[in-house]
């Protein structure tokens, strides 16, 4: 007899790619990714139904936003097609726009299909799933339901929520997948706290997230959602390209073989990166924005047409990225609160920024635009700031700073940024207010959570 299903809660961290933007798309190079302590939480519990009534329905809600409700039906497909998920309604307040959420729907399809392959003769019971996000993922002001409540009511629809670019889709897919697997499967089949369980979670989340976003991206954000801060080398894209579409013949068996098999060539090195005591990361939100996909296409096109120049810059950047990780890890045994021993870190960051600007100028892509150069140069002169970069693909979204971990340094930085005004650019683009996002580095990845954390946000009404 199967064990009774009990409430389960899992969270995953945000991310910031401190070094390796663009390089991380190529398996010859690595990315240095830090987890951030803003988390997305998924809570799963049995769906309450009338006595004697048996239904196959999964209700997903994101209650911090107006009308964020998705109701799904699901059933097994012939020919080993796995579990097909169908949206039954489109949200109580969003019915006019017929909202769909491809990340939730795909994660649910992949997770239920994997569960079905492990327990093919067992009915998948209905459940209720609630998703909650920390404030730092959104710039919208929120209100608290209680004085000590961790999660804010954002008082807007998801469509009108303004993201801060911390990797919400990866943290969502990973925490959602982890919670669903942990809820339905006994520990003998899936143990989130084991190395094997985390590897299965990583592979399954990579597969569903890649499918949901059109098979683009390197997957570093999923890796950090599972494993926390790490040096990351991507998997071969051919791994996922060979997977049949969901519900098609053979999908279920091939998905399980892929998830559990040893074909994955991802390299994730947690031990290669540590944050020294006395230092921390600070993320700064820049009120502007960039179109990451178009920037990536332009840089890759330039690299294809200028192979010799591109390889020189990329190889130098790779050495710089590894040097940054090595120096941070070397200093991990030292206490740097006195502000000494940071000169080598400053030099590495400055050299890497120079190479990034070279790549940007050569490709015609604003990876570190002039306004961001001014902002980073300004911040680098402030007391307690070692240096900073424009993370990820670059542009106008945000900057990340490495600073001394002192309250007075953060207070002074906050005050300096409040009065900072960027010069107008030739292109007419202007960055607006610059503010500190309430996050710092997080070395831990996926984890189970105590259910008391969600007392103001019950999973069923």
Q: Give the span between the Cα atoms of 233 and 220, in whole angstroms.
A: 8
Regarding whether 431 and 448 lie in a shared domain, the answer is: no
pLDDT of the residue at 424: 59
pLDDT of the residue at 323: 94
Regarding whether 33 and 104 lie in a shared domain, the answer is: yes
In a domain, residue 83? The reply is yes
Regarding whether 332 and 242 lie in a shared domain, the answer is: no
Angle (CA) 451-456-461 rounded to 5° is: 90
In a domain, residue 460? The reply is no
Whether the Cβ atoms of residue 40 and residue 205 lie closer than 8 Å to each other: no
pLDDT of the residue at 184: 96
Where would I find the H helices in 331-369? 343-363
In a domain, residue 38? The reply is yes
Range 195-225 burial, b when 16+ CB lie within 10 A, else e: eebbbbbbbbbbbbbbbbbeeebbbbbbbbb
What domain count does the chain have? 2
- Which conformational region is residue 128 in: left (phi greater than 0), alpha (psi within -120 to 50 degrees), or beta? beta
Tokens of 104: 């939730």
Over the chain (461 residues), what is each successive 10-residue block's mean pLDDT?
82 95 94 95 86 74 92 91 86 53 95 96 92 90 84 90 84 98 96 96 96 87 96 93 91 96 93 90 78 82 95 96 92 67 91 96 93 94 95 89 96 93 62 85 95 82 43
In a domain, residue 259? The reply is yes
Q: Residue 76's domain spans which residues?
A: 8-270+444-454
CA atoms within 13 A on the CB side of 129: 31
Regarding whether 118 and 54 lie in a shared domain, the answer is: yes
Regarding whether 264 and 290 lie in a shared domain, the answer is: no
Q: How far is CA 224 from the centre of its chain?
A: 7
Query: What CATH number does the domain containing 195 carry?
Result: 3.30.230.10
Indicate if the alpha-carbon torsion angle 133, 137, 143, 148 is positive or negative: positive
Report the candidate in 277, 284, 279 with the shortest Cα–Cα distance to residue 378: 284
Q: Give the span between the Cα atoms of 327 and 331, in whole angstroms.
A: 6
Place of tokens 């953060």: 410
pLDDT of the residue at 1: 46
Regarding whether 148 and 70 lie in a shared domain, the answer is: yes
Regarding whether 79 and 200 lie in a shared domain, the answer is: yes
Q: Three-state SS for 412?
A: helix
In a domain, residue 202? The reply is yes
Q: Which stretches of 236-354 are assigned E, i.e. beta strand?
A: 267-269, 279-286
Q: Which stretches of 323-409 are assigned E, i.e. beta strand?
A: 385-389, 398-404
Whether this prediction's pTM lies above 0.95 is answered by no
Regarding whether 312 and 212 lie in a shared domain, the answer is: no
In a domain, residue 1? The reply is no
Query: What CATH number does the domain containing 336 carry?
Result: 3.30.70.890
In a domain, residue 392? The reply is yes
Regarding whether 285 and 184 lie in a shared domain, the answer is: no
Place of tokens 């894209």: 237
Regarding whether 333 and 204 lie in a shared domain, the answer is: no
In a domain, residue 310? The reply is yes
Q: Give the span between the Cα atoms of 319 and 159, in whole angstroms.
A: 41
Regarding whether 216 and 94 lie in a shared domain, the answer is: yes
Phi, psi of 454 (to 5 degrees): -110, 25
Regarding whether 154 and 294 lie in a shared domain, the answer is: no
């Amino acid at each position: 007899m199967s064990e009774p299903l009990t409430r389960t809660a899992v969270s995953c961290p945000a991310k910031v790619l401190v070094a390796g933007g663009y390089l991380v798309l190529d398996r010859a190079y690595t990315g240095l990714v830090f987890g951030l302590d803003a988390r997305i939480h998924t809570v799963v519990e049995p769906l309450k139904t009338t006595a004697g009534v048996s239904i196959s329905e999964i209700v997903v809600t994101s209650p911090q936003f107006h009308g964020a409700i998705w109701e799904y039906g699901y059933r097994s497909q012939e020919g080993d097609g796995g579990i097909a998920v169908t949206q039954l309604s489109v949200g109580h307040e969003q019915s006019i726009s017929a909202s769909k959420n491809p990340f939730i729907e795909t994660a649910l399809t992949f997770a239920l299909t994997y569960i079905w392959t492990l327990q093919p003769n067992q009915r998948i019971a209905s459940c209720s799933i609630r998703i909650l996000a920390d404030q730092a993922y959104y710039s919208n002001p929120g209100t608290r339901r209680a004085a000590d409540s961790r999660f804010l009511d954002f008082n807007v629809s998801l469509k009108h929520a303004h993201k801060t670019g911390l990797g919400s889709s990866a943290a969502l897919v990973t925490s959602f997948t982890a919670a669903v697997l942990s809820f339905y499967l006994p520990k003998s089949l899936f143990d989130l706290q084991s190395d094997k369980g985390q590897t299965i979670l990583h592979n399954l989340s990579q597969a569903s997230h890649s499918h949901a976003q059109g098979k683009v991206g390197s997957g570093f954000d999923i890796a950090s959602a599972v494993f926390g801060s790490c040096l990351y080398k991507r998997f071969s894209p051919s791994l996922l390209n060979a997977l049949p579409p969901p519900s098609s013949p053979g999908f279920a068996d091939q998905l399980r073989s892929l998830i559990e098999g040893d074909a994955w060539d991802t390299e994730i090195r947690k031990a290669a990166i540590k944050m020294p005591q006395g230092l921390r990361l600070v993320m700064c939100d820049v009120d502007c924005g960039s179109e990451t996909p178009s920037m990536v296409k332009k840089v890759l096109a330039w690299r294809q047409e200028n192979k010799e120049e591109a390889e020189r810059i990329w190889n130098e950047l790779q050495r710089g990225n590894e040097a940054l990780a090595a120096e941070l890890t070397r200093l991990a045994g030292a206490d740097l609160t006195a502000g000494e021993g940071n000169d080598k870190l400053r030099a590495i960051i400055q050299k890497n920024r120079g190479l990034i600007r070279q790549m940007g100028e050569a490709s015609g892509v604003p990876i570190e635009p002039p306004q961001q150069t001014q902002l980073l140069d300004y911040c680098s002169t402030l007391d307690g700031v070692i240096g900073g970069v424009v993370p990820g693909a670059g542009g106008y979204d945000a900057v990340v700073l490495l600073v001394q971990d002192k309250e007075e340094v953060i207070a002074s930085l906050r005050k300096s940024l409040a009065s900072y005004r960027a010069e107008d650019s030739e292109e007419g683009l202007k960055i607006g207010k610059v503010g500190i996002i309430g996050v710092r580095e997080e070395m831990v990845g996926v984890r189970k959570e105590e259910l008391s954390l969600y007392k103001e946000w019950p999973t069923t009404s």
